[in-house]
Structure 1
Amino acid sequence: MSDLKEPNPKSSSDSELPPYRQSDANTHKSSAKMPLWLLPVLVGVLIVGVLLGKYWGGNDEEGMDGSTTSATEQNDGSNTGTASEEPAVLSVETVMPNQDDIGATLSADGTINAKDTANVSAKVNSVAIEQILVEEGDRVKVGQVLAIFDTEAMQQQVLQAEADVAEAEATLANASADAVRVLPLIDIDAISKQEADRYRTAEVKARAALQASKARLSNQQLTLKNANVVAPVSGVISEKMAEVGMVAGGEPLFTIIKGGVLEWRAEIDPKLVSDIRIGTPVRVSLPDGDSVMGQVTRIAPTAADNRQITIYASLANNAKVRAGMFQTGEFLLGSTSTQTIPNSAIVSNDGYDYVMLVTNITTQNGKTMGRIKQQRVTLGERLGDNVAITEPLPNDSQVVKQGGSFLNDGDLVRLITTMGLTNNQADTTTNNSTGTATQARV
């Protein structure tokens, strides 16, 4: 019994399997015999393989994307050229120069003086002023009383003259009567001829004395009348020298500006006088910022000591204007059509003025682009928000409206909204806009 071997179930069963099943069974046996330490190694190899696969796959995708991008850039480059590669420095708003009517003027400095004056003096001497009725700046009319002298002494002199006249009249009457009475006596030789002549001579002297007395009376009456100082012309009192208690001695008491007319006397370079005519309007500035109008009335025929020509312009009545003021004014020579651009378009550098013109304008991919060209300009008169250009630009110039100080010659810029409009039209467009940043970085 001990020599007998137990039957092997697997062996018997394996032998009983069909041939195609026996190979699978052998494989299963060999795998069952694999050592356990080999399992971690296999897992590690698997992980490393996965990581390497991801790395190589990423490089392939990047290469593919790079190829695609390069192809796209080459395609775009063939369409847009350098503009697609170079970014714009700024987005700018442009305007075209405008033509405005500007009044041509010639500025000058001058003094305001009275056009014509009249000095008023006393017609009496050695008499004190008792009352003054006007002050400087008062308007007066011809014949108006300006001052009154002390007339008490004058009135006494008039009374004395009247008495002298009465006495002379009485003397004449008596002499005339005596002359009449002696006439019959001459015929009868009652008196000598020489004595009769004395009576007639006395009558003649009495008549002459009466005439002299009457003349003295008229003179005293005139003196009394002249005790009132009156205005010889209508106008404005510019100076008052008279004072109460002052004894008249023939010196002027008042100065009157005839009609109150003042004139501006400006000195002009002889080379510029040809632009001025009689009747040319003038506008003279006043210290408070106001102005007064006038017109040229005469031009000096010769130059003054300073080799300048004096132009005389009468001014309209204005209470703010005073004789002796030194004021700046301008001659209005008419209007001319002048090219203007916005003040904001001017760029000042190193003492010169420039504008930034946009040239080589093209449209690419829906964007209007251009190159900056710096252009030096000479400025004229400023008119509010605009300034005149004395050497005009081409009428179709595209001028950067603002932000030019951020640009350099040759910069690439992008144009927005107002290209092709005049500066007046551009202002309207900007006002109607709801928020365009004309200096925004692209």
Structure 2
Amino acid sequence: MNKLRIGAATAAVLLALGTAAWSLRASGAGHTDASAPAPSVLTVEVIVPQQQSWPQSVQASGSITPWQEIIVSPETGGLRIAELLVDVGAVVKRGQLLARLADDSLQADLRKQQAAVAQAQANLYQAMSNLQRARMVDGSGALSAQKMEEYRIAEATSRASLDSARADLDSTRLKLSQTRIVAVDDGVVSSKSGVLGNVVAAGTELYRLVRQGKVEWRPELDARQVSTVHTGQSARLTLPGGEQVAGQVRLVAPTLSATTGRATVYVSLPAGAARAGMFANGTIELGAQPALTLPQSAIVMRDGRAYVYLVGSGSQVTSRAVSTGRRHGDRIEVLSGVDASARVVASGGAFLSDGARVTVASVGSAS
């Protein structure tokens, strides 16, 4: 019985000592975990913003219109359209015959004026002959001074009548030539309003041409934008079909519209690149300007704002709000929030939070 009591007491003591030792070990382990650094949540690449020279541009939209238009109309009126020789879309050359007016009445007027010239010329010859004979006997006293003066006046009148008849003949010939309506310059026929057989008045539009086939883009810009646009700058626009067309600023309007407060910019386009009447969007290149840039993967959008994560001491990250600007390819301009020496997480920022510890795999230049 005594032996059993002694064994039980010994077992109790050993159990108490074991429990104390386990408690000490557990307490020591907890103390070690509390003092150790937090584990890394992500392995990242660290980059610094890169200074680049980027082209600055202005976004604009506007219609495509003819560079210049040519109105084809007769210079003489009251004649019937006898022929219309071209149709819409035809490419015409300077001096090419486009239409012809009936010239029967003018041919008759021409013959009449030719006869009038011949008659006036005969009258002049007769008057000149009379004056010459009168001068031969002028010194003999056979003719009075009044009669001599009459001969001189008759000769001068006949000469003036001949000049008038010749002028009328030239006028008739001019009208006759105007029955042939020709193109004043190269171009493309954009509209046709003449009707065969119609009697037209002088100035009635028969055709409308796009001069030399040239068109231009005419976007409208506000006062701030137009102040940065100058003649000779490059432009690029997208046509409705998706085709890209390059152009050049030909002219900037000197005044702004009193109703819209915007000014028109005239951008020359290559012939055949677009059609008049189209509406296109595009950009006008203003020249290169410096930009502090980061890859778009470094920008984290949260609650409508842009953030980057900066790596500080101890490889801990902090978020920083930034303002962004232009985009070029896969890079974005940073206007404020970081400088050129900032150590920025290149990607994976969406998985980070302030104070998180990361493992830096490499340090790059954001190129």
TM-score bucket of the superposed structures, by smaller chain: 0.7 to 0.9
**1:97 aligned to 2:40?**
no
**1:150 aligned to 2:102?**
yes
Per-residue CA deviation, residues 317-354 of structure 1 (Å, 9 max, x unaligned), is 23133344443333322112212222233322222222
Superposed CA RMSD: 4.4
Residue 156 of structure 1: SS of its match in structure 2? helix
The Cα of 1:269 is off from its aligned counterpart by 2.9
Q: 1:117-128 alignment to 2 at 5 Å?
A: 117-128=69-80
Residue ranges of structure 2 left out of the alignment (5+ in a row): 1-6
2:351 paired residue among 385, 406, 410: 406
Larger radius of gyration: 1
Query: In structure 1, how many angstroms separate the alpha carbons of the residues matched to 2:262 and 2:358?
Result: 54
Q: Percent identity?
A: 31
Query: In structure 2, how many angstroms separate the alpha carbons of the residues matched to 1:379 and 1:262?
Result: 37
Q: 1:369-380 alignment to 2 at 5 Å?
A: 370-380=315-325
How does the TM-score come out when normalised to structure 1? 0.63
**Counterpart residue number, 2:301:** 348
**Counterpart residue number, 1:358:** 311
1:291 paired residue among 229, 234, 245: 245
Query: In structure 2, how many angstroms separate the alpha carbons of the residues matched to 1:191 and 1:360?
Result: 133
Q: 1:104-115 alignment to 2 at 5 Å?
A: 104-115=56-67
Residue 390 of structure 1: SS of its match in structure 2? strand
1:228 paired residue among 173, 180, 204: 180
- Mark the CA change 1:91 to 1:227 in structure 2 (over 3 Å): closer, same or farther: same
Which is richer in helix? 1
The Cα of 1:122 is off from its aligned counterpart by 0.7
**1:247 aligned to 2:183?**
no
- Mark the CA change 1:382 to 1:122 in structure 2 (over 3 Å): closer, same or farther: same
The Cα of 1:129 is off from its aligned counterpart by 2.3
Query: In structure 1, how many angstroms separate the alpha carbons of the residues matched to 2:330 and 2:155?
Result: 97
The Cα of 1:421 is off from its aligned counterpart by 0.6
The Cα of 1:394 is off from its aligned counterpart by 3.1
**Counterpart residue number, 1:391:** 336
Query: In structure 1, how many angstroms separate the alpha carbons of the residues matched to 2:122 and 2:316?
Result: 118
Residue ranges of structure 1 left out of the alignment (5+ in a row): 1-48, 362-369, 425-442
Query: In structure 2, how many angstroms separate the alpha carbons of the residues matched to 1:336 and 1:74?
Result: 57
Residue 331 of structure 1: SS of its match in structure 2? strand
Which is richer in strand? 2
Q: 1:43-442 alignment to 2 at 5 Å?
A: 81-83=36-38, 87-136=39-88, 138=90, 140-167=92-119, 169=121, 210-249=162-201, 250-289=203-242, 290-300=244-254, 302-306=255-259, 308-361=261-314, 370-391=315-336, 393-415=338-360, 417=361, 419-424=362-367
Per-residue CA deviation, residues 147-193 of structure 1 (Å, 9 max, x unaligned), is 22223443333234334444555566677778889999999999999
Query: In structure 1, how many angstroms separate the alpha carbons of the residues matched to 2:150 and 2:289?
Result: 96
Aligned residues of 2:324 and 2:334 also touching (Cα < 8 A): yes
